[in-house]
Amino acid sequence: MAENKFLTFKGKPLVRKGNEIYYGDMSEKFVVRFEILSSNKDGKLEIADKVSVQLLKSDTDAPIKNRITKESQKATLFEALDLGFTWLERALA
């Protein structure tokens, strides 16, 4: 049986589906959702230039509106990851 291997950032899973990236372990109380709202081309690379960040309760039975505890927008994926990491660490502490 094949074991699922995810890319990790600072020890937590980082999973992408289309323009959405989820950070954190769904077995914990919170995860972070990043949505790439817009990007531009730099040569052959697509660079995100507007990213939505949301701290979510990981309870998938609740409606998404009730799961969002914090949200913001950042200009780069790096800034978004930095903010999401901070929010998640504080929420899980």
- Give per-residue pLDDT as tens, 26-55: 889 999 999 999 999 888 988 888 999 999
Return the DSSP state at 59. -
List Cβ neighbours of 51 (8 Å cut-off, separation of 6 or more).
34, 35, 36, 37, 73, 74, 75, 76, 77, 79, 80
* pLDDT on residue 5: 76
Tell me the pLDDT of the chain averaged across its residues.
Answer: 89
59-91 tens-digit pLDDT: 888 888 889 999 999 999 899 999 999 999 999
* pLDDT on residue 1: 42
Q: What is the pTM of this model?
A: 0.84
